Homo-oligomer: A and B are copies of this chain.
Amino acid sequence: MNYYSESINNLIEELAQLPSIGSKSAQRLAFHILNLPEERVERLSDVILKARKNVRYCRECFTMTDSEVCSICSNPKRDKKTIMVVEDTRDLAAYEKTGQYEGVYHVLHGAINPSLGITPSDIKLKELLKRLQGDVDEVIIATNSSLEGEATAMYISKLLKPAGIRVTRIASGVPVGGDLEYIDEVTLYRALQGRTEL
């Protein structure tokens, strides 16, 4: 049974299909949207459509961007010989926020996950190998510190090392400001393994 009119129901149903938006949240969002000024709703609708239409993968690093080549790959100041491999565009943005990385990126769009049927050929790995035919000094693997991220890191490392490319992995350890007693054993063990001289 529908308790709302057709347009409202359609809106609620579409919103409820978005991730982590349940049926109650979808109703709340729908009525919020219905009560917005019409020009605001037009903008929201338009921005959604335009983003989907304009955004594509960067020809070089495969990040999601508006142009054929993203602003990082087309920046002459970035060091093209250092490539950081990340799982997705949000991870790239996370490293950009540090303002400390001057190399370029390679976005895999996923991680190897046999239980979900995601194999090496489902992520942008061929494309990475192709880039490495150029002049590359170092590949920094910055996949997530999850099971899949680690497996992907191992896979890439095994693939690249025989080719004589320097492959590094970002450090695992205690997050800055982290309280040791709340940190899991695996992280503590990793932090110990990765200890550095003071």
Contacts and interface: CB of A to CB of B under 8 A. Distances in A.
Scoring A4, A10, A19, A34 by chain B CB atoms within 10 A of each residue's CB, the highest score goes to: A4
Nearest to A99: B1
Interface in A10-58: 10-11, 14, 18-20, 25, 27-34, 36, 38, 41-55
A89 B31 contact: yes
B18 A29 contact: yes
Contacts of A25: 20
Contact of A34 (B7, B27, B55): B55
Contacts of A30: 51
A145 interface: no
B5 A50 contact: no
B19 A50 contact: no
Interface of A: 1, 3-8, 10-11, 14, 18-20, 25, 27-34, 36, 38, 41-55, 64-67, 70-71, 88-90, 92-93, 96-97
